[in-house]
């Protein structure tokens, strides 16, 4: 069995994750230990690599017990209450909040402060409990409403002035559908385009990549929200799309002689992991 293999050139860490990982690695060059508030990236293999260098993942409860220490805030960002807690405990913060997320937090906070006196509502399209979403809800003192579909948007009270935002890594097509629905119910609703441009462009390029390959190996951690969205996108245009976390999960029976296999991944998938899959598949093809 012989087949061709290609890595999607646009897959791999988004800029925000690249920045967070680089800052963690830079710190660990001069120290044997660094705390991270939550998983720096939703990818178990990358986390194992960083833990081996000295990164320790802490929950907020664990972090609250630290005193006079250092902690990294990941690209997803945190609500204001987290910063207040860390400052009270004299914790030095390495703030790796993605600039795109930071700008979104500021916009959500500003709109909430304007709408709140009018009895308005801030609505966020995102994954309930996701770190980025928690940070956004925190900008509204916990009052923002999180929705995940048109169906959940139907439960909103449209008698209130409404502002709609999206988690930066959500599907642009689905967000447009929700925005259309919200505007149909409340024509003066404010809809903000807050999906990361890099993520939106990746959606477009990934559709073309999946269509031009006979089989797709999609690589991402199971906890990656963006991974689920992008894998579902691949599968919607190529039914021979398979999601794996590592080489051991690849079934050679998925592939056929003459295939053109595409390897791609989420914004939380490192390049080295895509390259590891590439080497394995090339070996599989050459040794058949």
CB contact burial 155-169 (16+ within 10 A = b; e otherwise)? ebeeeebbbbbbbbb
Alpha-carbon span 2 to 15, nearest angstrom: 35
The model's confidence at residue 288, banded by pLDDT at 50, 70 and 90, is: low
Where in the chain do CATH 3.40.50.11270 domains reside? 15-98
Taking a C-beta distance cutoff of 8 angstroms, is the pair 6, 281 a contact? no
pLDDT tens digits along 264-280:
999 999 999 999 999 99
Residue 79 reports pLDDT greater than 80: yes
DSSP state of 220: -
Q: What are phi and psi of 216, to 5 degrees?
A: -125, 130
pLDDT number for residue 37? 97
pLDDT number for residue 284? 85
Rounded to an integer, the average pLDDT of 15-44 is: 94
Rounded to an integer, the average pLDDT of 97-112 is: 97
Inter-axis angle of helices 44-53 and 15-28, nearest 10: 20
Where in the chain do CATH 3.40.1010.20 domains reside? 4-12+197-286, 100-191
Work out the number of other CB atoms within 10 angstroms of the CB of residue 224: 23
The model's confidence at residue 61, banded by pLDDT at 50, 70 and 90, is: very high
The model's confidence at residue 225, banded by pLDDT at 50, 70 and 90, is: confident
Which tokens hold the place of 265? 């991944």
Residue 287 reports pLDDT greater than 70: no
Fold classification of 15-98 is: Rossmann fold (3.40.50)
The model's confidence at residue 262, banded by pLDDT at 50, 70 and 90, is: very high
| pTM for this predicted structure | 0.89
Residue 254 reports pLDDT greater than 70: yes
Longest Cα pair distance anywhere in the chain, in angstroms?
69
Rounded to an integer, the average pLDDT of 49-59 is: 96
Specify burial of residue 110 (Cβ count, 10 A radius: 0-12, 13-18, 19+).
Answer: exposed
Q: Has 132 been annotated as catalytic?
A: yes
Alpha-carbon span 114 to 247, nearest angstrom: 51
Catalytic residue among 56, 132, 177, 275: 132
pLDDT number for residue 285? 82
End-to-end CA distance of the chain: 5
Rounded to an integer, the average pLDDT of 256-262 is: 94
R_g (Cα) of the chain, nearest Å:
21
Residue 72 reports pLDDT greater than 80: yes
- Sign for the pseudo-dihedral over CA of 164, 169, 172, 174: negative
Fold classification of 4-12+197-286 is: Cobalt-precorrin-4 Transmethylase; domain 1 (3.40.1010)
CATH number for the domain running over 100-191: 3.40.1010.20
The model's confidence at residue 1, banded by pLDDT at 50, 70 and 90, is: confident
Name the one residue in this structure whose structure tokens are 């120290």: 31
Q: Average model confidence (pLDDT) for the chain?
A: 94
Instruction: Flag the least confident range among 93-97, 153-157, 222-226.
Output: 222-226
């Amino acid at each position: 069995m012989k087949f061709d293999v290609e890595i999607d050139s646009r897959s791999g860490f988004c800029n925000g994750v690249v920045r967070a990982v680089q800052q963690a690695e830079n710190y660990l060059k001069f120290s044997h230990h660094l705390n991270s508030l939550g998983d720096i990236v939703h990818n178990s293999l990358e986390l194992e690599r960083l833990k081996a260098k000295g990164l320790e993942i802490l929950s907020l409860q664990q972090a609250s017990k630290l005193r006079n220490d250092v902690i990294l805030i990941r690209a997803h960002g945190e609500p204001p209450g987290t910063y207040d807690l860390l400052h009270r405990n004299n914790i030095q913060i390495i703030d790796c909040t993605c600039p795109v997320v930071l700008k979104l937090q500021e916009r959500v906070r500003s709109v909430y402060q304007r709408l709140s006196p009018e009895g308005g509502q801030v609505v966020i399209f995102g994954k309930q409990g996701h770190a980025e979403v928690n940070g956004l809800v925190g900008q509204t003192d916990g009052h923002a409403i999180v929705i995940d579909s048109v169906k959940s948007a139907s439960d909103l009270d449209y008698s209130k002035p409404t502002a709609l935002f999206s988690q930066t890594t959500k599907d642009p097509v689905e967000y447009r559908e929700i925005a259309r629905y919200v505007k149909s119910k409340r024509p003066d609703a404010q809809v903000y385009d807050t999906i990361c441009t890099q993520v939106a462009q990746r959606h477009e390029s990934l559709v073309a990549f999946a269509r031009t390959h006979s089989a797709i190996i999609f690589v991402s951690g199971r906890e990656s929200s963006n991974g689920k969205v992008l894998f579902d996108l691949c599968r919607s245009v190529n039914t021979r799309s398979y999601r794996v976390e590592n080489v051991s999960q690849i079934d050679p029976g998925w592939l056929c002689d003459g295939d053109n296999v595409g390897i791609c991944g989420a914004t939380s998938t490192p390049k080295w992991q895509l390259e590891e899959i590439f080497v394995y598949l090339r070996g599989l093809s050459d040794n058949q």
